[in-house]
């Protein structure tokens, strides 16, 4: 006998589990199917974000930052540490405990919201009267029927041809988060978000880290003034970043990995490392979904084709998150999941793609929302720019972290904020105010007129807004 649901969500990552909860809140009878297993084979909902992405990487970034502070910066505060050491195994065990808390939290939320959870792999069987039959292959095989299906199956790391992930020597994000000893030499291919975050973790713990990036510009999609400032800081910390490289043959042995590469001048080079992380982007995951059985349309990249409302080519089938177009970000997936659940319930769910923030959790952090200066130039938009350095912010000086700046871009005529770009301490938190401002279509003058607590890093956002009108008070 099949079990009947109003909505079946396939995938329990941030897109899927949030969609399931929202649909249940709106009175739907909801199932969520997720196959991720923890170390003992039990369910580990939360997807890449919770298990091998956002959450564990932030746990390791925090641990390694504490070590970096104790190693290099406590002395400035008059604190002497003797016999400092790092137990990478314990650090990783703590990270695993943080992940488990999040897995359990999601299972609790399912119970609280009366979402039926199934642990196993879901695949389409066929279209049936009033919906779709879904098979769940897990410890217990189940047949479910859902009137509406939301596919939220996420993405997988993209491998470099000729260097398949073995997660021992050639690592994706999964292996990079599970190392229990600090490699002496670490190589990374791709200086994107994962490359910089993972490179930072292992450098802080003592690895000699080299990042090989194919593009000639560092963080090409980031506002270039901000990217340059970040690059300076990373190089000063000891990250070696090679731009405009061509990666050639990769040889893997038990001892290490040897990467042949050509530098920007066309000179042949070799990089010998103990571990290699390949972080060159991710590909949509539809493995095992049996999309063909129902004629669900994929594009040439393997992403599920959706319209602006996340509707697929099939009636009653929706898709959200990394498996569809757009940035592969947990919070974008969540927004889509909520909007789809609301549309299913007859409401008018909405996602504003222009105000999705980005954060890179390095030190200094990098965060932005809206358009960059280079985008405004190429779009032919007349704009005004205001910047304010953390060097002139009292709280940043007291913290002992004055790297970076806030940069605000506003329309030259209307003063509407078009983008805010931050490199510096707590950029990940500071950006929220700017997202809110842009969501309300605020002008730079609006932020400049708002009272910001003193002393706080957020005063730099206010000062950047004042700088748009060339009237900073503290610089």
Closer of 147 and 262 to ligand NAI (Cβ): 262
Sole window of 23-31, 70-78, 278-286, 288-296 interacting with ligand NAI (rule: CB under 6 A): 278-286
Is 192 or 424 the residue whose CB approaches ligand NAI more closely? 192
Angle (deg, nearest 10), helices 88-112 and 14-25? 20
Q: Does 43 bind ligand NAI (CB under 6 A)?
A: no
Q: d(Cα 121, Cα 11) in Å, to the nearest integer? A: 9
Whether 350 contacts 31, CB under 8 Å: no
Nearer to ligand NAI, 201 or 328 (CB): 328
- Contact pattern from residue 308 through residue 337 relative to ligand NAI, giving x for each residue in contact according to CB under 6 A and a dash for the rest: -------------------xxx--------
Beta strands in 364-424 (DSSP E): 365-370, 383-389, 405-411, 417-424
Among 64, 123, 156, 191, binds ligand NAI (CB under 6 A): 191
Q: What is the rounded distance in angstroms from the CA atom of residue 308 to the CA atom of residue 380?
A: 26
Between residues 17 and 117, which has the closer beta carbon with respect to ligand NAI?
17
- The whole-angstrom separation of Cα 407 and Cα 427 is 11
Residues 245-264 that bind ligand NAI (CB under 6 A): 247
Per CB under 6 A, the segment of 177-185, 275-283, 332-340, 397-405 that binds ligand NAI is 275-283
Active site residue 421: no
What is the number of the residue whose Cβ is closest to ligand NAI?
Answer: 192
Touching ligand NAI, residues 357-416 (CB under 6 A): 359-361
**Beta sheet of 170-171, edge-to-edge order:** 170-171, 275-278, 185-189, 208-212, 240-242
- Quick one: 14 or 43, whose CB is closer to ligand NAI? 14
E strand map for 179-299: 185-189, 208-212, 240-242, 246-252, 257-262, 268-273, 275-278, 282-284
Chain positions 124 to 163 lying near ligand NAI, rule: CB under 6 A, are 160
Q: Residues 210-239: x/- map of binding to ligand NAI (CB under 6 A)?
A: --xxxx------------------------
194-205 burial, b at 16+ Cβ within 10 Å, e below that, comes to bbbbbbbbbbbb
205 binds ligand NAI (CB under 6 A): no
**172 scored as a contact of ligand NAI (CB under 6 A):** no
- Alpha carbons 210 and 200: distance in angstroms, whole number: 11
Q: Which is nearer to ligand NAI, 130 or 248 (CB)?
A: 248
CA 47 to chain centre: 12
Binding region for ligand NAI (CB under 6 A): 160, 189-195, 197, 212-215, 247, 279-282, 327-329, 359-361
Residues annotated catalytic, as ranges: 454
């Amino acid at each position: 006998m099949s079990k009947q649901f109003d909505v079946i969500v396939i995938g329990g990552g941030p897109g899927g589990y949030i969609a399931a909860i929202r649909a249940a809140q709106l009175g739907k009878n909801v199932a969520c199917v997720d196959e991720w297993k923890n170390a003992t084979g039990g369910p580990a909902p939360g997807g890449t974000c919770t298990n091998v992405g956002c959450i564990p990487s932030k746990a390791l970034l925090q641990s390694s930052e504490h070590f970096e502070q104790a190693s290099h910066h406590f002395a400035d505060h008059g604190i002497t540490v003797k016999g400092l050491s790092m137990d990478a195994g314990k650090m990783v065990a703590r990270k695993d405990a943080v992940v488990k808390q999040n897995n359990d939290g999601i299972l609790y939320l399912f119970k609280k919201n009366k979402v039926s959870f199934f642990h196993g792999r879901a695949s389409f069987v066929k279209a049936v009267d009033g919906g779709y039959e879904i098979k769940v292959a897990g410890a217990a095989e189940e047949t479910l029927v859902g009137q509406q299906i939301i596919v939220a199956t996420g993405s997988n790391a993209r491998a470099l041809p000729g260097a398949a992930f073995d997660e021992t020597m050639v690592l994706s994000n999964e292996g990079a988060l599970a190392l229990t000893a600090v490699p002496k030499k670490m190589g990374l291919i791709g200086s994107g978000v994962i490359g910089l975050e993972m490179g930072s973790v292992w450098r802080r713990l003592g690895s000699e880290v080299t990042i090989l990036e194919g593009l000639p510009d560092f963080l090409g999609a980031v506002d270039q003034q901000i990217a340059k400032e970040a690059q300076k800081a990373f190089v000063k910390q000891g990250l070696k970043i090679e731009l405009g490289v061509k990666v050639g043959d990769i040889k893997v042995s038990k001892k290490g990995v040897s990467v042949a590469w050509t530098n920007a001048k066309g000179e042949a080079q070799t990089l010998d490392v103990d571990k290699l992380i390949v972080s060159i982007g991710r590909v949509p995951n539809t493995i095992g979904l049996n999309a063909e059985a129902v004629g669900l349309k994929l594009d040439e990249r393997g992403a599920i084709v959706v319209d602006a409302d996340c509707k697929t080519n099939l009636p009653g089938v929706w898709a959200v998150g990394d498996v569809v177009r757009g940035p592969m970000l947990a919070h974008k997936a969540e927004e889509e999941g909520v909007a789809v659940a609301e549309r299913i319930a007859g409401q008018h769910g909405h996602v504003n793609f222009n105000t999705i923030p980005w954060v890179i959790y390095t030190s200094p952090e990098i965060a932005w929302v809206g358009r960059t200066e280079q985008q405004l130039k190429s779009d032919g938009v007349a704009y005004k720019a205001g910047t304010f350095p953390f060097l002139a912010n009292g709280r940043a000086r007291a913290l002992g972290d004055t790297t970076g700046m806030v940069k605000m871009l506003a329309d030259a005529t209307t003063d509407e904020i078009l983008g805010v770009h931050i490199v510096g301490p707590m950029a990940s938190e500071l950006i929220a105010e700017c997202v809110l401002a842009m969501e309300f279509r605020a002008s730079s003058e609006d932020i400049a007129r708002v009272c910001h607590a003193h002393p706080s890093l957020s005063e730099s956002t206010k000062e950047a807004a004042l700088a748009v009108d060339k009237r900073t008070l503290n610089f």
